[in-house]
């Protein structure tokens, strides 16, 4: 694979492979230039797929003059569409590795545009920060069984409809910055692409959307400062509606219900997923992050229903399952909730400058705010626009309707609302803690604190004051790490808990990250 400034998308989808007891979500590549369908052997063995035969192949690698003979086991593979739960059974040949290279997934703006056209892709924001390695290659033997049709989007890009979801193929020059050509890639290019994908992901809802809202940056901030309140030890904010758009927003109820019914079918096939999903929802209810809608409020037509799905990250130390709410969803010919909300100005520092400033300090430290978005209340008038469906009992026909009471990730203004709330709070406390608040105003990237000082004494003062300042906003700074052993010991004395992460890249673990780059605090190396 080679990166370039032009963007070519290969026909790829994310799909569930259903095993005897568990399922696995993988990336599948459609390739009708391959005679056979292949599945990574490790996936097949982990899922315990049924062996139905074997086949001897002569495999020609790229540029090779002679084939390599190999006997491959043939297994039965049940594939499941992750959006609507449809299933199909095919057969595939086991192979150790399909490709060491990573597949390029569409950029987020492409995914949003496809959603607007009613051609939802199977990817989510998490995929933009991953190395998306192909685990299933669908060859010509099943290609036309799975492909149902296509829509030409422009002269060079085609949307392909498959049983497993929509995919894209072709050049996407105006929306992307890199390309894939099989089987040639350098480590430097991999790192470059990975960092770029991370920064594109982290910019979701941070970069301007190019739509004239009728207000300049100062007007929007003034409007925010005049409406923010402090209620029950938390800040409470209003959703930033575009002028006249709230009245044009439909409820999206049928779209959300259709997608939830597909999710329910998936729950019935995967009880463990339902259990984990339910734990997250119940936790939200217990903490007051969401609330049940009453029958009176359900009669209110001024509302919006959000589809949702699970993202399962086995590489996460905690929070293995995360529920993603889709603010870009909409019925055909209707606006999405995100269409009707202002993105807000970018209040975050330049990433590169923040990273350079981090490296300039003799003593460096990082932390993050626990569930940062969810610590900010949404004004009661806006809560009906964050409804979603849930089932407390899979065997019952009864549907529960919940809505958020807090700011949720998945809405385009959420990063702005968090940044504006922090800015408001730091400026409010600047007379009490002048140096620390000035530092905090320049040291946050979304929920991540990235800072440092010239010496341990100054670092201890800044970090202890930071904990108090954020606590006064109803927020908890956690997962503290530093390159200084002395500061680590001082933190313990004042009750600041450090995040002792023993995993390393060498052990295949998840490294500590600073702005998307792996960081070894003990050696103080970024890699």
Q: Examine the domain organization and report whether 182 and 221 are in the same domain.
A: no
DSSP state of 412: T
Cβ partners under 8 Å of residue 111, min gap 6: 121, 123, 124, 328
Residue recorded with tokens 């995919």:
167
41 and 101: one domain?
Answer: yes
**12 has which bridge partners?**
29
Contact 119, 166 (CB under 8 A): yes
Residue 310 located in a structural domain = yes
Does one domain contain both 226 and 108?
no
- Same domain as 134, residue 202: no
In a domain, 211, yes or no: no
Tell me if 40 sits within 8 A of 204, measured CB to CB. Answer: no
pTM of the model: 0.64
pLDDT by residue, tens only, the chain of 527 residues: 333 334 688 889 999 898 877 888 899 999 988 888 999 999 999 889 999 888 887 765 555 566 677 888 999 999 988 887 788 999 999 998 887 777 777 776 677 677 767 777 888 655 654 557 899 999 988 998 898 888 888 878 888 989 998 888 887 654 433 333 333 333 444 444 444 444 443 444 444 443 344 457 788 889 999 999 999 899 999 999 999 999 999 999 999 999 999 899 889 988 999 999 999 999 999 999 999 997 666 666 789 999 998 877 554 445 568 898 999 888 888 899 999 999 899 899 988 889 899 999 999 999 999 999 999 999 999 999 999 999 999 988 899 999 999 999 889 899 999 999 999 999 999 999 999 999 999 999 999 999 999 999 999 999 999 999 999 999 999 999 999 999 999 999 999 988 765 544 444 444 688 887 889 898 888 87
On whether both 129 and 222 belong to a single domain, the answer is no
Structural domain range at position 202: 194-206+217-526
Q: Are 344 and 416 within 8 A, CB to CB?
A: yes
In a domain, residue 2? The reply is no
- What letter does residue 330 receive in the DSSP assignment? -
CATH of the domain at 24: 2.40.70.10
Counting the structural domains of the chain, the total is 2
Phi then psi for 326, rounded to 5 degrees? -100, 95
**Residue 337 has what DSSP assignment?**
T
Residue 41 in any domain: the answer is: yes
Cα distance between residue 361 and residue 138, in whole Å? 51
**Distance between CA atoms of 188 and 524, rounded to whole angstroms?**
21
Residue 440, domain member (yes or no): yes
DSSP per residue, 225-284: HHH-EEETTEEEE---BPTTTGGG----HHHHHHHHHHHHHHHHH-HHHHHHHHHHHHHH
Q: Is residue 502 part of a domain?
A: yes
Same domain, 170 and 299: no
Sequence-distant (6+) residues with CB within 8 A of 476 are: 369, 370, 470
In a domain, 212, yes or no: no
Same-domain pairing of 30 and 66? yes
Pair 356, 381 in one domain: yes
Domain at 300, CATH number? 3.10.10.10
Assess whether 132 and 73 both reside in one domain.
yes
Burial of residue 469, with CB atoms counted within 10 A of its CB: 0-12 exposed, 13-18 middle, 19 or more buried: buried
Is 95 found in the same domain as 201? no
- Residue 167: inside a domain: yes
In a shared domain, residues 133 and 224: no
- Looking at the fold, whether 393 and 256 belong to one and the same domain comes out as yes
């Amino acid at each position: 694979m080679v990166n370039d400034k032009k963007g070519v998308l290969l026909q790829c989808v994310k799909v569930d492979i259903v095993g005897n007891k568990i399922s696995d979500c993988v990336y599948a590549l459609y390739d009708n230039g391959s005679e056979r369908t292949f599945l990574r052997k490790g996936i097949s063995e982990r899922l315990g797929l049924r062996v139905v035969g074997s086949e001897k192949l002569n495999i020609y690698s790229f540029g090779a003059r002679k084939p390599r003979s190999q006997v491959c086991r043939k297994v039965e593979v049940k594939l499941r569409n992750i959006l609507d739960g449809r299933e199909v059974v095919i057969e595939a040949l086991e192979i150790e590795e399909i490709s060491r290279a990573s597949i390029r997934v569409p950029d987020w703006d492409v995914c949003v545009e496809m959603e607007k056209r009613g051609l939802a892709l199977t990817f989510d924001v998490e995929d933009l920060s991953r190395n998306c390695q192909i685990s299933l290659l669908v060859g010509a033997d099943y290609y036309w069984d799975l492909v149902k049709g296509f829509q030409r989007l422009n002269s060079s890009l085609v949307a392909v409809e498959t049983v497993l979801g929509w995919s894209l193929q072709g050049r996407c020059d105006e929306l992307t910055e890199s390309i894939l050509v099989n089987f040639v890639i350098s480590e430097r290019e991999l790192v470059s692409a990975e960092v770029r994908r991370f920064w594109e992901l982290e910019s979701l809802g941070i970069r301007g959307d190019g739509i004239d809202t009728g207000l300049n940056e100062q007007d929007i901030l003034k409007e925010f400062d005049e409406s923010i309140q402090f209620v029950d030890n938390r800040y409470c904010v209003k959703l930033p509606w575009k002028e006249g758009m709230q009245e044009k927003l439909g409820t999206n109820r049928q779209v959300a219900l259709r997608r939830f019914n597909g999710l329910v079918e998936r729950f019935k096939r995967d009880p463990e997923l339902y259990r984990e999903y339910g734990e997250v929802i119940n936790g939200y209810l217990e903490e007051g992050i969401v609330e049940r809608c009453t029958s009176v409020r359900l009669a209110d037509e001024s509302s919006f229903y959000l589809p949702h799905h699970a993202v399962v990250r086995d590489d996460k130390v905690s929070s293995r399952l995360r529920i993603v709410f889709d603010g870009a969803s909409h019925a055909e010919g209707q606006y999405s909730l995100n269409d009707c909300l202002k993105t807000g100005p970018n209040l975050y520092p330049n990433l590169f400058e923040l990273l350079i400033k981090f490296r300039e300090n003799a003593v460096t430290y990082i932390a993050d705010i626990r569930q940062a978005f969810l610590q900010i209340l949404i004004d009661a008038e806006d809560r009906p626009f964050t409804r979603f469906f849930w089932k407390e009992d899979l065997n019952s026909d009864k549907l529960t309707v919940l809505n958020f009471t807090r700011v949720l990730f998945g809405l385009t203004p959420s990063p702005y609302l968090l940044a504006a709330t922090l800015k408001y709070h730091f400026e409010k406390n600047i007379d009490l803690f002048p140096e620390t608040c000035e530092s905090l105003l320049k040291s946050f990237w979304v929920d991540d604190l990235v800072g440092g000082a010239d010496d341990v004494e100054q670092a201890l003062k800044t970090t202890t004051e930071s904990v108090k300042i954020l606590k006064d906003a109803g927020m908890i700074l956690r997962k503290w790490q530093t390159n200084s052993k002395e500061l680590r010991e001082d933190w313990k004395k004042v009750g600041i808990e450090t995040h002792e992460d023993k995993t390393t890249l060498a052990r295949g673990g998840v490294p500590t990250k600073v702005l998307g780059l792996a960081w070894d605090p003990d050696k103080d190396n970024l890699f």
